[in-house]
Amino acid sequence: MDVPTLLSVPNVSEGRDQEVIAAVADAFTGEPRVRLLDVHTDADHHRSVFSLAAPAGVLARALLAGARAALEWIDVITRASGAAAEIGQHPYVGALDVAPVVYLDPRDRGAACAEALVLAELIGEQLEVPVFLYGELTGDEHTPARTRAELRRGGVLGLAERMSANAHPLRPDFGPQRLHRRAGATMIAARPPLVAFNLQLAAPATLADARAIAALVREGGSHGLPGVRAIGVSLGGDVAQVSMNIERPFDVSLAMVIEAVGAHATVASAELVGLAPAVALDGFPQDLAMPGFDPARHLIENALGS
């Protein structure tokens, strides 16, 4: 029986210190059968997104090693009480903030779920970091699936408050009932590919404009697109950005997202974070700049050689 290749897109809460980013990358790739397909770092979001591929049974060990390195290098608890510029634009709950296991073929969903659960148990037991499952690993016919957004609400300090509440405390699925003193918590899921995608708005758009547009185009907004999660942020203090996750890229193309945002403000440029399935780029406007994009590296099919 063939062992499926799975992907993972671990997000680490460090986007500025290159020594730390390199150390975490080395830890992720310590296993010989792990391929590092891409690293996307962002100083404003204070975040690095790693794209990994490995066989089932290998990937969880690689992610555990990266989680251990993130724990050793990154202190999100101290950072959370610092200045806003130190915290960064993107909400987070941990040093290894999120580690989804991604399946490309629906037939590999079971393998991805199993790998994610193994990883969650390893991080909870060996690193003593609380782990919260979300997405397909949660919910049932009576309870909706847990989302990243609800776990990240209020950041790491907000999560700490909910975990220590006297009434109905939020309990992790694995690990201790308290945040790690440095690494906070980690969120884990199994899912099909999504696309992390940012649009920079042309001046004179402001942070308030970006936030208003994000509320309009995200799922549930008055002009919302299905499976689109969006926030508005400010880059360098003067560039407004709509930062999004496109959770249904086989149904909602990036061109559709650009059109939806462009109905409310002029879009200056685009940014792809990590990899995307080729179909997501269908109809992408040729006149919109997307600096750094390389189809050979950033389309999943090309990166995997398929």
Catalytic residue numbers read 90
What are residue 143's phi and psi, to 5 degrees?
-130, 130
Give rounded-to-5 percent helix, strand, coil for the chain. Answer: 35, 25, 40
Say how far apart CA 238 and CA 210 lie, in whole Å.
Answer: 12
Angle between helices 207-217 and 254-262 (to 10 degrees): 130
Amino acid at 249: P
- For residue 190, CA distances in Å to 102, 113, 127, 248 come to 6, 5, 21, 14
Cα(306)–Cα(295) distance, rounded to whole angstroms? Answer: 13
Question: Which residue from 77, 90, 208 is spatially nearest to 149, judged by alpha carbons?
Answer: 90
Which residues, at least 6 apart from 233, have a Cβ–Cβ distance to it below 8 Å? 44, 45, 89, 90, 207, 210, 240, 241, 243
